[in-house]
A = this chain, B = another copy of it.
Amino acid sequence: MCATLTDFQPQGCHRRLVEAAAQEFGRDGFRGASVDRIAAAAGVAKQTLYNHFPSKEALFEETIRCHVRDIVVELGDAQGGIRERLLAFGDTFRQRLLSQGGLEWYRMMVGELSRMPELGGMVWHQGILATQRHLADFLAAAMTRGELRHDDPAFAAEMLCSMLINSDRTRGLLADDPVSPADPQRVSSIINCFLRAYRPD
């Protein structure tokens, strides 16, 4: 009766469901995505989905949890001057967050996560703040070395991250005019701006 059982894949249902859910939720949002479509996209029966997750919301949570780490950017410990390392960071940061997937992530976060406080807090702390902490640590070290003016490194990290993405992200989400995530010229302008603000007196 089941002609499609050649596709039978007992392993990896969970993972495939989470991946499909990330796609569907990213494109249509929590409310817009349907459980039927997610199951279909995962190549899995709807009941199988409910064998793995008690509800649509639980699947959503798992999807978020599995992908928080994707938005965390660390400064590689490559050598190079502070300007080069910040340039590399800014480039990676922007490519991660301004990509199609990154924008969809942000849309999901703002549109839906803000109605799920505990999950929103998790993303805030483990996702967004994690990157800022890494950056702040790096900046703090540069300050003690005297390469940057001494000031609150967490604040400086906030400012830099904001400058790097805020405007282009909003533009990418609202205006149909697409944003190019890789834009060395723009990264360079922003890093220059930041370094001027924080150059030693």
What are 22 A-B interface contacts by the 8 Å CB criterion? Answer: A107-B111, A109-B173, A110-B110, A110-B111, A110-B170, A113-B173, A114-B173, A114-B174, A120-B174, A121-B177, A124-B170, A125-B175, A155-B189, A159-B167, A159-B190, A161-B166, A162-B163, A162-B166, A163-B163, A165-B166, A194-B197, A196-B197
Besides A110-B173, A120-B173, 10 more A-B contacts (Cβ < 8 Å) are A109-B174, A110-B111, A111-B111, A113-B174, A120-B176, A124-B170, A158-B167, A159-B193, A166-B166, A193-B197
What are the 5 tightest A-B residue pairs by CB atom distance, in nearest-first order? A111-B111, A162-B166, A197-B197, A166-B166, A120-B174
Q: In the assembled complex, which residues on chain B have CB atoms less than 8 Å from the CB atom of A112?
A: 111
Interface residues of chain A, those whose CB is within 8 Å of chain B, are 29, 31-32, 106-107, 109-114, 117, 120-121, 123-125, 128, 155-156, 158-159, 161-163, 165-167, 170-171, 173-177, 189-190, 193-194, 196-198
| Docked-complex contact B175 and A111, CB < 8 angstroms | no
CB proximity of A149 to chain B, nearest CB, Å: 8
Given contacts A112-B111, A197-B196, contact A159 B163 (CB under 8 A): yes
